[in-house]
Amino acid sequence: MEKNKVQNTPTTNKKLIEWVNRMAKLCGPDKIVWIDGSEEQKLILEKECVASGELIRLNPEKLPGCFLHRTAQDDVARTEHLTFICTKKKHDAGPNNNWMSPFAAYRKARAIFKNAMKGRTMYVIPFSMGPVGSTFSKIGVELTDSRYVVLNMLIMTRCGEAVLRQLEKNDDFTRCLHSKAELDIKKRLILHFPEDNTIWSVGSGYGGNVLLGKKCLALRISSFTAKKEKWLAEHMLIMGIEEPNGHIEYIAAAFPSACGKTNLAMLIPPEGLRVKGYRVWTVGDDIAWMRVDTDGSLWAINPETGFFGVAPGTNSNANPNMVKTVQKNTIYTNVLLKPDNTVWWEGADGEVPSQGIDWKGNPWKPNTLDDEGKAIKGAHPNARFTTPIANCPSASFRLDQHHGVPISAIIFGGRRQHVAPLVYEAFNWQHGVFVGATMGSELTAAQVGKLGQVRRDPMAMLPFCGYNMAEYFRHWLNMGKLMAKPPKIFHVNWFRMDEKGKFLWPGFCENLRVLEWILDRCDNTVNAMRTPVGYVPYPFNIDMTGLNLGNGVLEKLLNVDKEEWQEELKGINKFFAEFKKDMPRELWDEYDALLERLKKNGK
């Protein structure tokens, strides 16, 4: 029997068999195992992980089917500086990406992959992003030497037999190769080859770098494919809002990290609005694939089947639905282990435990200080849970529908202390693309850089757009022309502050009050104030039943300060200029028009 060769393949797809053989030859695993998506196979893998120490089984009474995993200490987040777009021409990756030539990238990575799986098993994971067989969906096959990756992929994607059957009808798939190798940051690379429909990730075990269906395939590779095929692959949540009359309107929303995207996707209406009969249905919290359907509207699916969410700060106040979701069949990564074999993180419900094992595996007590005098955290600030959407009490009943859901509104958002009002509506699609392209967030204490400094993150896609963003903007402009009924575009800012640095808006579930206005605008049932930046609500059109902000606060939240906006335009100018002559003229036109409106007296 020839070593490293696929034996008893469960597929007749020659292209797939040939590729698996070639990669096995490179990586040198002892064994190859095909993931079939069965419960039996999953249970075997879980047992093996517990035996090897990759997973700790959590309290089966309190957290059935749940496990804890700890990553290496220098492997706790996406490593953007080690993430590359490898197109033949550097220009095609754009100023927004790190670039390496495919030749250099393959050569560099091949040396790390060489025999990296020796003594290990190579798992072959056929997965579908989106319902198997939907016109929206794309198939990938991930080869990995990590059982943790397999178990996470089983939660996050549709894996196994059904996907192999689909690949017999159409043999097109994204080739995803992953090896932990030595988990050495100096030998870590996350490489995307959009022209070859290939992803190579080596040297990491952190979800964002290794669950290759997510950021790598569903955003970086798919944004490239989507441009060619005329659809949109976006870093957006999708939620349905059931109106008092039972009708459900769907919105897609893009926010940079740490702006509460997951919380918004599954919010529970505040008491004051709940009595009206509103209800939220969660379609997705991270990625939206959107296509123009035969009705001329934009329809969206969430290509994933799970949430890979940030644990710290998740509690019954911020996100009661997520707290319920993570009670079973969940993999926790880098959280604190409590003596009763349950888990905890900073900002979790209940009392701070008096002791535990921290995310590094060390004994922990609250308020223990490190060498610099800072309290040692029980959970890493980017500790995660991987959990099935099906567990979520607000999971939409349309998750598996092949056509997805129709999108009425697209929302862009950022974290801005000043400048951006609570909500405004773009004048039209082209202006909406400008609003998305100029999105920004202020740096928080958690990021390196000057506090309050604005980082531009267009459509929240800066780390995820697999090609030149100037071309991406052009694609967005073109998509508007394909739609008979394009969604309306809005911008929201939950983070505006007063002079003393206090948040003016309570956020969380109260955000539904703003979404209600947005839906009223989509239905043309409410007027708005025209300002230089867009349409802003009249304060009396936001339903404030049960929420008292104090005199004049809503007016402050909705204020458009022309001087602040003129300052803002200087930053936008600098950002646009980075794209040189590739920047679509239409966006500079929008820039000029805004400047002009700001200079005029009156509104």
Angle at 210 between CA 319 and CA 402, to 5 degrees: 65
Shortest CB 96 distance to ligand OXD, Å: 15
Distance CA 227, CA 479 (A): 9
CA distances from 451 to 441, 442, 446, 461, 570 (A): 11, 7, 9, 22, 19
Shortest CB 382 distance to ligand OXD, Å: 8
Check: CB of residue 239 under 8 Å from CB of residue 257: no
Shortest CB 205 distance to Mn ion, Å: 19
Shortest CB 27 distance to ligand OXD, Å: 27
User: Which of 105/153 has CB closer to Mn ion?
Assistant: 153
208 binds, among ligand OXD, Mn ion, none (CB under 5 to 8 A by kind): ligand OXD
Q: What are the structure tokens assigned to 209, written together? A: 């770098």
By residue count, the chain amounts to 603
Check: CB of residue 205 under 8 Å from CB of residue 75: yes
Which residue matches tokens 């250099």?
A: 104
Q: Which residues bind Mn ion (CB under 5 A)?
A: 286
Shortest CB 214 distance to Mn ion, Å: 8
User: Which of 462/547 has CB closer to Mn ion?
Assistant: 462
User: Which of 298/461 has CB closer to ligand OXD?
Assistant: 461
User: Which of 208/320 has CB closer to Mn ion?
Assistant: 208
457 binds, among Mn ion, ligand OXD, none (CB under 5 to 8 A by kind): none
Catalytic residue among 27, 259, 392, 522: 259
The 3-class secondary structure across 156-207, one letter per residue, is HCEECHHHHHHHHHCCCCEEEEEECCCCCHHHCEEEEEHHHCEEEEECCCCH
213 binds, among ligand OXD, Mn ion, none (CB under 5 to 8 A by kind): none
Check: CB of residue 529 under 8 Å from CB of residue 603: yes
- With 0-12 CB in 10 A as exposed, 13-18 as middle and 19+ as buried, what is 451? exposed
User: Which of 304/358 has CB closer to Mn ion?
Assistant: 304
Q: How many Cβ atoms are within 10 Å of 129's Cβ, its own excluded?
A: 27
Identity at 559, one-letter amino acid code: N
Kindly report each contact of residues 161-165 with a partner whose C-beta sits within 8 Å and lies 24 or more positions away, as own/partner: 161/10, 161/36, 161/37, 161/38, 162/37, 162/128, 162/132, 163/37, 163/126, 163/127, 163/128, 163/132, 163/139, 164/10, 164/11, 164/13, 164/126
User: Which of 128/257 has CB closer to ligand OXD?
Assistant: 257
Which residue matches tokens 């096995």?
A: 24
Distance CA 440, CA 463 (A): 13
User: Which of 309/532 has CB closer to Mn ion?
Assistant: 309
Distance CA 264, CA 504 (A): 18
Distance CA 354, CA 339 (A): 10
Shortest CB 250 distance to ligand OXD, Å: 20
Biggest CA–CA distance in the chain, Å, is 82
- Sign of the Cα torsion 204, 208, 214, 219 reads negative
Q: Which residues bind ligand OXD (CB under 6 A)?
A: 208, 257, 286
Which residue matches tokens 């893009």?
A: 254
User: Which of 286/471 has CB closer to ligand OXD?
Assistant: 286
194 binds, among ligand OXD, Mn ion, none (CB under 5 to 8 A by kind): none
Shortest CB 208 distance to ligand OXD, Å: 5
User: Among this protein's residues, is 259 annotated catalytic?
Assistant: yes
Distance CA 150, CA 123 (A): 7
Shortest CB 235 distance to Mn ion, Å: 6
Catalytic residues: 259
